[in-house]
Structure 1
């Protein structure tokens, strides 16, 4: 039976369209922290109200990601991307005119989160894993992840400019409509995976694949470690802009920091993709998390000045989503590409549970203590734990019986 890579494939077009989708879908969600101050001020909300909505957004994204992965593995990438984009844009538009905290949790939280799960760059990476030759996969993961960061880099100044020029409502509406080209761009990624093409492995059902993965110690360790990545990324994305303002700096420094994180993550993601084809992926992941412990701890202890904010942003950006290429690569190494969207979806669910706690605890800690010190400290401890957790991972494919041996 032919598989997704058997048809004539325009590799540059697949890479270009996939990366552009990552730019357009990752960019708007990276601007959410900019809306905290204007929305809470206009509606008389506490900071925790907005933080809870973004926390729920991350949680809904995480819960929806394995479901979106299952649908992509069964029906193909294009349908899922088109549906997810519609939900994403609708959620942003409705969020713009929400004045009730509960409705904010639904529009900016659940609806946007589910939309992102169906249009996120992680579906693009899964499509790359299925469509592209094995020799190109590690770097394609780096390109896709870097493209998401480019979206963050580009949309940070766009978001702050829209806020300054039109206010938060029109800004959110414009962002909502900005992603409407995604279904067209997703056409080259059409197709669904066929039966497993790895020699010596029989095809599986989704439930068999999930039982195999969750029974595998290395997969469980990988999933646990990705929780920490989500905690770090979501906390910084949402709370760094107001943290900078709290310390007496102009809001522009927060916007510059978010953009700089995206810029340096382009470098970090590309390097991680390149190294993933040369070094053990578990070593790369451990090094990233130990590096985060140093960077986050140093920033929390240093005086907050424009210089330290920009240095932190550059260092954090280099270590930002550079975790994704080796993490995606480990899933493919262990289990192949047949259910890569589903299996990586569950790893990413752990990431988003961490994101929920990073965003929500950040707002809760600030409302209780008036500072983010507790969360910076917790982030350092979690980074050290994640660095240790990845070291025992075994980088080899699972043993799976031949078809002929099945009873």
Structure 2
């Protein structure tokens, strides 16, 4: 690997503030728009005469395309660097939003809001920013930087909730989507400080040569704790995607003003800033598996209580606060465990496969929400399933081993 592509420790240390600021701004800009997709369900289905399932399927495909694309995007980032991937990813993301605004056909919606935006999000997801943080920042800052990057994504959700609803009210859904899409093209400039490719590094490196990506994948998929982590993240995706897409229309169905849906999504983002930072802090001081189990057991309680309580401004506010604290607080300990077990060389790739499981869960959460609602006129069954899955995820994280995988054949 040439010296030009290897960021020196001295250069990285000198650029820590710039790396953190630019990385967090990227997380804000790329995570915020996808959190507003639920706001467009009612206006787009009404304008085009679609069922709720049509829109839900498009967002489900978006989540699946994002998940399928993430491991391959991670491989490209591990091979060629973060900046190139973020540049191409945000171009697809922005283009997908602009084309979605012009869509009047269900199939075109699946291709624009589904495939194109999904691949664009994969190429610009804040998980790539977190992998860059792991590569560029000192090890002592790693876990907390994961919390900062995740919190920044939540800040994007908080900011884009009122932005999205204001643009919808003021200009209609077509102009709103186009304006949000144009904003994506600021990301390549912000990504310049994240340039560079990962170096070979692992806590258990002792000998002869660098690990290949094929060896890294075989090692990971034979590791029981990695499989537990992957299974648990499926549940996170189910919860997050279902709530993001279906909570706003669910609130309207219960007779509340649509503004409460926007406020709920915004509050989730606000409280997740606290949750993500708290999870990053706790993951550096307590067993990460305990942090994850606590989060999922907490979700089971919050989702169960909200499903059986009357839907009022008070219960919506309390649920949004609880859901926000437990929202993407799963990411810092999950990403930290991948780095702890396997090192940072192929972190984007290995976390990409964990995230694929997350997005399969997201696909099912969004799609089942639409199907169950169209068949029963209610989301009750999906809320109940979310509680059961949360309990299962809380249990599956408990036996995870928090140790580096021995790797005697890798270059020191």
How many angstroms apart in 1 are the aligned matches of 2:69 and 2:43?
29
The answer (yes or no) to whether the contact 2:26–2:187 under 8 Å persists in 1 is: yes
Candidates 197, 209, 214, aligned match of 1:192: 197
Contact 1:23 1:149 in 2 (8 A): yes
CA distance in 2, matches of 1:147, 1:200: 36
Give 1:319's match in structure 2, choosing from 323, 326, 330: 326
Q: Which of residues 34, 55, 61 in structure 2 aligns to 1:56?
A: 61
Measure the CA separation in 1 of the matches of 2:252 and 2:244. 14
Aligned-partner Cα distance in 2 for 1:43–1:402:
59
Partner residue of 2:183 out of 174, 178, 183:
178
Indicate the residue corresponding to 2:404 in structure 1: 397
Distance 1:403 1:174 in 2: 48
Distance 1:32 1:108 in 2: 9
The match for 1:13 is 18
Q: CA offset at residue 402 of structure 1?
A: 3.8
Kindly state the Cα deviation for residue 37 of structure 1 after the two structures are TM-superposed: 0.1
Which region of structure 1 is more displaced relative to structure 2, 195-204 or 243-252?
A: 195-204
1:242 aligns with 2:252: no
Runs of 4+ that moved beyond 6 A: none
Deviates more, 1:6-15 or 1:357-366: 6-15
Match of 1:142 in 2: 147
Residue by residue over 1:231-257, the C-alpha shift from the partner in whole angstroms, topping out at 9 and shown as x without a partner, is 000000000000000000000000000
Query: By how many angstroms is 1:203 displaced?
Result: 1.6
Name the counterpart of 2:35: 30
Matched, 1:108 2:113: yes
TM-score (norm 1): 0.98
Show the counterpart of 2:317. 310
Q: Which runs of 5+ in 1 are unaligned?
A: none
Distance between the aligned counterparts of 2:317 and 2:62, measured in 1?
A: 27
Q: Any residues of structure 2 matched to 1:5-404 within 5 Å, and which?
A: 5-6=8-9, 8-9=11-12, 10-196=15-201, 198=203, 199-200=205-206, 202-403=209-410
Give the Cα–Cα distance (whole angstroms) in 1 for the partners of residues 202 and 39 of structure 2.
46
What TM-score do you get using the length of structure 2 for normalisation? 0.97
Deviation of the 1:195 alpha carbon: 2.9
Once the 2 structures are TM-superposed, how far is the Cα of residue 6 of structure 1 from its aligned partner? 3.4
Alpha-carbon deviation of 1:8? 1.0
CA shift for structure 1 position 309 = 0.4
Unaligned runs of 5+ in 2: none
Asked if the contact 1:5–1:130 (Cα under 8 Å) also holds between the matched residues in 2, the reply is no
